[in-house]
Structure 1
């Protein structure tokens, strides 16, 4: 009996040492990218933008190519942490590229694009988009390079290097990546780093088009963090607008764009941390969040990942979209109904012109 007790105690001690060592590894190796990093766009075209000409912007969170309709994610209460296999990721990426070609946007903004990751079966999606959409100028801004997360224990999500990709048919003269406020407690290992990129493109007449791409926090329960993230973006928007520039922000806001999505999509009125109403009343003067006929069209931009997608039964909402300055004329805004075929998000697109 004493021998058995010693063995059990040895196992417990070993587990404590391993777990403690892993926690030390997480905290010691954790590092955030500095703020205001200059990025290097890859320009393949030199088109200059013009006023009174219609352009199209598309925003799509591609979910690092891991989410076909049958997929559910452990952080939402589902079953999986990684994409099924490399074949699935490549098929989803091919579908995302084809969808982009069908919509033919002048500007495409993608979120959750993995450069490398265990969760995405090590498919370089940044390179994939650049190679398969070769007619666009290309910009990548890294969100995070996370250390190995040994959770869930049966199938750890592992490491991931991921970020934001912006494509443009107009020349990108410069771009920067800005860090967003995040939680500083243990939650930072699950919600990971957050950022936004700011790209500058000349418009005939002397001003610039300021194209911002972002993906705000989803799983934080501290709403002050989400508010601080929006405040930082709002400050950049306001400063550029005061210079006379045209400003557009595209992204996954992890906020209910309509404000009443539970009623629109006939889903539970319970709000997840990523579905609080977008604070439109806090937008800087001169800005709007255009929603057009989105409520009437009733096409969601995102689904919950607690279970496989079933139309009319799954929790759906609208958390993706655009913020635009009032010197931009909005013609229409729509969600393309992909039935979440290649991602847990449907792409949103906006037709507009510079006044």
Structure 2
């Protein structure tokens, strides 16, 4: 009996040491990028924007290339933590590139683009977009560079370096990355770091088009964090608008853009933390969130990942879109219904002109 107890205590001691060492590693390796760092846009063309000319913007959370319709994700209650294999990631990325070419946007805003990650089978998706959409000027801003997350234990999601990619047919003269408020407790290791990029594009009338790309927190249960994230973006928007600039924010807000998506998409499922109504009434003066006929078209931009996608059965909503200043004329806004073929998000696109 004493021998059994000794063996048990020995195993328990090893587990405690391993777990304690892992916690030390998590906290020691955690580091946020400084706020307001300058980024390095890559320009292949130098054209500026014109007033009263029609342009198109597209926003697409590409889900780091891991999510075909058959995929479900463990943090939503599904089965997987990593992409099936490298081939699947590359096929999804190729489909995302083709859908971009089909829409032919002037500006393309991508979220959840892995530069390197176990979950995305170490495909450099930033380089993939730049290579296959080489006619665009490009910008990459890192969201996070996470430590190795040993969860779930049977198939850990691992390490990921991921961020935001902005493509532009016009010159990006400069850009900065701004950190967003996040939770400071243990949840920061699961919802990871958050940021937004602010890119400056010249307009021929002497002003600038301010292109902001963001991806707000999804899994935080502290709604004050989501409010603080929006408030920081709102502050930048307002300051640029007061300078006479044109301002557009594109991204995955993890908020219900329509405000009544459960009714529109006929779902009785309770709201998730990432589907609270977007606080349109708190937008700075001079801004709006265009929705056009999105409610009538009933094309969702995101699906739940608790199970494989089945049209008419899966939980869907609309959490992606654009915020625009009133000196931008919005002609149309639509969701391109891809049936979630290459990502758990469908691209949203907007046709606009500058006044």
Q: CA deviation digits over 1:39-92, x for unaligned, max 9?
A: 000001111100000000000000000000000000000000000000000000
Aligned to 2:183: 183
How far did 1:137 drift? Answer: 0.1
Residue 269 of structure 1, CA deviation: 4.4
Return the offset for 1:224.
0.1
CA distance in structure 2 between the aligned counterparts of 1:223 and 1:89, rounded to whole angstroms? 33
1:119-161 residue CA offsets vs partner (Å, 9 max, x unmatched): 0000000000000000100000000000000000000000000
Question: Which is further off, 329-338 or 4-13?
Answer: 4-13
Taking structure 1 as the reference length, what is the TM-score of the superposition?
A: 1.00
Query: What stretches of structure 1 move > 4 A for 4+ residues in a row?
Result: none
Match of 2:227 in 1: 227
Structure 2 segments unaligned to the other structure (5+ residues): none
CA contact (8 A) 1:136 1:168 kept: yes
CA distance in 1, matches of 2:248, 2:312: 32
Q: Could you tell me how far 1:8 is from its partner in structure 2?
A: 1.1
With normalisation by structure 2, the TM-score equals 1.00
Aligned twin of 1:33: 33
Structure-to-structure mapping, 1:119-138, within 5 angstroms: 119-138=119-138
Give the CA deviation at 1:4: 1.3
Contact 2:117 2:160 in 1 (8 A): yes
- 1:115 and 2:115 are equivalent in the alignment: yes
1:263, 1:269 within 8 Å by CA — same for their partners in 2?
no
1:268 positional shift? 2.1
Aligned equivalents of 2:46, 2:30: Cα separation in 1: 39
Contact 2:148 2:159 in 1 (8 A): yes
Q: How far apart, CA to CA, are the structure 2 residues paired with 1:336 and 1:5?
A: 62
Give secondary structure in 2 for the equivalent of 1:274: helix
Shift of 1:5: 1.5
| Whole-angstrom distance in 2 between the partners of 1:260 and 1:64 | 28
Q: Secondary structure at 1:163's aligned position in 2?
A: strand
Q: What residue is the counterpart of 2:68 in the other structure?
A: 68
| Equivalent residue pairs, number | 355
Residue 279 of structure 1 and its aligned partner are, at CA, apart by: 0.0
